[in-house]
Amino acid sequence: MPSLPFFEVDVFASGPFSGNPLAVVAEAEDLSTEEMARIAAWTNFSETTFLLRPRRPEADYRVRIFTPSGELPFAGHPTLGTARAWLALGHEPAAGAEIVQECEAGLIPVRREAGLLLFATPPRLRADPLTPGETAEIAALAGVAVEDVVAAAWGDNGPGWRILQLPDADAVRAANPVPGTGGLKYGLVGLEPAGGEHAYEVRAISVDREDPVTGSLNGAVAQWLRERGLVPDRYTAVQGSRVGRDGRIRIVDEGREIWVGGRAALRVRGEIEV
């Protein structure tokens, strides 16, 4: 039975076991799609990734991203966690300082900065405001009054997020989502008081669970809030307080691209028998 390199990475961590765990299987060229899906269902993490040789010459590696129930074209914490595992295997970018990840959504640049890994947020596939009916549906799922919704929009950069802005971070923390979402994915965001250590609190509810820390949603939230002038060009957001985590998300807007990053710490390194 062959063995492949295997990692568990703590992404967006503020300390040990405080972020969102990711499983990474390297050297996965000989695995079929069905085998990848079975492994992802077995690990039962929100995402499991599979490291492959790139198909495009500009890329350093290719990744496939699986949830326990399907495959995603892009996701944020899997991007950072996979890059961390790739570096741990002794690799370095072929050209320049930036790592270039190939995934179904295209080429995603990843860079290192002051101990963090950051990815360039891909363009949103859909960013229009939610309709009143869509807003009411998500508010009901989130357990908040529709009249407390400050703004609502799509933030779809692959996973299909719908976003509600609530009056403040306390309102986000106080929300009580109902079990199950009918397959919908949504996020809540509320600003902290000006001048604080963090700009806002985020929560992400995906299918039947609340995600600890979510890179794709935070990228879409940053794009949405920045274009409305509600946050500075560099700041930190927090996520995970309602599920026992303490994630930290670093946002850097350089004008052309918004970068989303955090710490990605290796917690487990070994082999998986396949």
* pLDDT in the model for residue 25: 98
Rounded to the nearest angstrom, the gap between the alpha carbon of residue 93 and the centroid of all alpha carbons in its chain is 22
Residue ranges and CATH numbers for the domains of the chain are 3-120+261-273 (3.10.310.10), 132-256 (3.10.310.10)
Length of the chain: 274
- For 237-255, the DSSP string reads EEE-GGGT--EEEEEEE-S
Q: What is the pLDDT of residues 211-263, one digit of tens each?
A: 999 999 999 999 999 999 999 999 999 999 999 999 999 999 998 899 999 99
Run of H or E including 100:
strand 99-103
pTM: 0.94
* pLDDT in the model for residue 134: 97
Query: What three-state secondary structure class fits 257?
Result: coil
* pLDDT in the model for residue 1: 66
* pLDDT in the model for residue 272: 98
* pLDDT in the model for residue 206: 84
All residue ranges of the chain with pLDDT < 70 are 1
* pLDDT in the model for residue 260: 98
Residue 170: what residue type? D
* pLDDT in the model for residue 208: 73
Q: Which residues pair with 164 in a beta bridge?
A: 152, 188
